[in-house]
């Protein structure tokens, strides 16, 4: 009996399915949307109260526009959890989810720069940041367009030889995704705890993409159990490299963060396009 067929592995896979079903349900989506609205409005209320000296909590920002950045950060937390569920579907779907999060991070950074503007809107105080705000927003738009092209040309085909192998591979990815789900949930909770306790928060998304790099490499090696075909190995390794470039983009200042982010998305696009043409070189039928 293999690892993925053991009773405890099957129970954990079933647990993952239950969590995914509840997370992607329409009722839970409404709850998340309501929570985002509450966070956004509550942040605005607390900032207004601080402006009027009704409260003096140091973790409450002084600028009203910081409420936008805070709400976007919570939205990104939810997107991170959603990405974990995409890991089970396919590596290309997971890569699309990573690009989606990167584009949203760039948008959040644009709002973050906007939140640093003085509320007087004096051009002399904001002109140096308007350019970087524009590059972040435009970079996010380019990645958004690239994702659309990837979805149009991508063709999903199992790398496994039969349904038993495919189910074994899926169960193994569910176990890995379940571990990632626990790790990311703890990281999010810790970051929120540090914020409200006025301690220095860590850069969650830097660590998030770092963990994804190791996860992508792990999946490259695991996929060799089911197929050692060159094109599959190259594609999966290329996706792992794209994640590294995304991670570097988060460490780089504007506008080079946009250059690296957009570059990683174009790399994924070319990789997917080439991967779907390669079967012709081996005399295989392209997947549909």
Contacts of range 207-216, beta carbons closer than 8 Å, 24 or more positions apart = 208/80, 208/184, 209/98, 209/243, 209/246, 209/247, 209/250, 210/247, 211/180, 211/183, 211/184, 212/98, 212/243, 212/247, 213/240, 213/243, 213/244, 213/247, 215/87, 215/176, 215/180, 216/91, 216/240, 216/243
CB crowding 216-238: b at 16 or more within 10 Å, else e = bbebbeebeebbeeebbbebbeb
The pLDDT value recorded for residue 284 is 53
**Residue 51 scores a pLDDT above 70:** yes
pLDDT in tens, 170-218: 888 999 999 999 999 999 899 888 877 777 777 888 888 899 999 989 9
The model's confidence at residue 111, banded by pLDDT at 50, 70 and 90, is: confident
Domain residue extents for the chain: 3-280
Q: Which residues, at least 6 apart from 241, have a Cβ–Cβ distance to it below 8 Å?
A: 267
The pLDDT value recorded for residue 287 is 42
**Residue 240 scores a pLDDT above 60:** yes
Structure tokens at 280: 């012709």
Check: pTM over 0.95? Answer yes or no.
Answer: no
Q: Which residues, at least 6 apart from 13, have a Cβ–Cβ distance to it below 8 Å?
A: 4, 171, 174, 175
State the number of CA atoms in the 13 A half-sphere of 127 facing the CB. 3
- Closest alpha carbon to 144 in 275, 267, 265: 265
The pLDDT value recorded for residue 288 is 39
Mean pLDDT of 45-66: 82
The pLDDT value recorded for residue 9 is 79
CB 220 within 8 A of CB 226: no
Q: What are phi and psi of 79, to 5 degrees?
A: -65, -35
Share of the chain above pLDDT 90, in %: 34
Share of the chain above pLDDT 70, in %: 88
């Amino acid at each position: 009996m293999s690892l993925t067929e053991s009773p405890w592995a099957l129970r954990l896979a079933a647990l993952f399915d239950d969590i995914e079903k509840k997370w992607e349900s329409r009722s839970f989506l409404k709850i998340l949307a309501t929570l985002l609205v509450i966070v956004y409005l509550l942040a605005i209320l607390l900032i207004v109260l601080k402006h009027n000296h009704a409260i003096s909590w140091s973790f409450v920002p002084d600028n009203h526009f910081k409420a936008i950045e805070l709400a976007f950060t919570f939205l990104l937390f939810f997107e991170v959890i959603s990405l974990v569920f995409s890991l089970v579907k396919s590596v290309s779907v997971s890569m699309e989810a990573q690009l989606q999060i990167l584009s949203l991070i760039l948008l959040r950074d644009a709002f973050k720069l906007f939140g640093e503007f003085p509320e007087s809107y004096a051009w002399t105080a904001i002109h140096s940041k308007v350019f970087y705000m524009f590059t972040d927003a435009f970079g996010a738009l380019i990645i958004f367009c690239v994702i659309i092209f990837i979805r149009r040309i991508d063709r999903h085909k199992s790398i496994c030889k039969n349904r038993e192998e495919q189910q074994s591979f899926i169960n193994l990815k569910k176990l890995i995704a379940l571990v990632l789900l626990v790790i990311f949930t703890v990281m999010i909770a810790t970051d929120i705890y540090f914020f409200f306790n006025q301690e220095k928060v860590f850069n969650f998304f830097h660590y998030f993409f770092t963990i994804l790099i190791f996860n992508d490499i792990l999946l490259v090696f695991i996929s060799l159990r089911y197929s050692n075909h060159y094109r599959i190995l190259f594609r999966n390794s290329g996706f792992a490299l794209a994640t590294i470039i995304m991670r570097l983009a988060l460490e780089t200042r504007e506008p080079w963060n946009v250059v690296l982010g957009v570059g990683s998305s174009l790399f994924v696009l070319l990789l997917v396009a080439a991967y779907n043409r390669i079967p012709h070189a081996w005399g295989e039928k392209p997947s549909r």
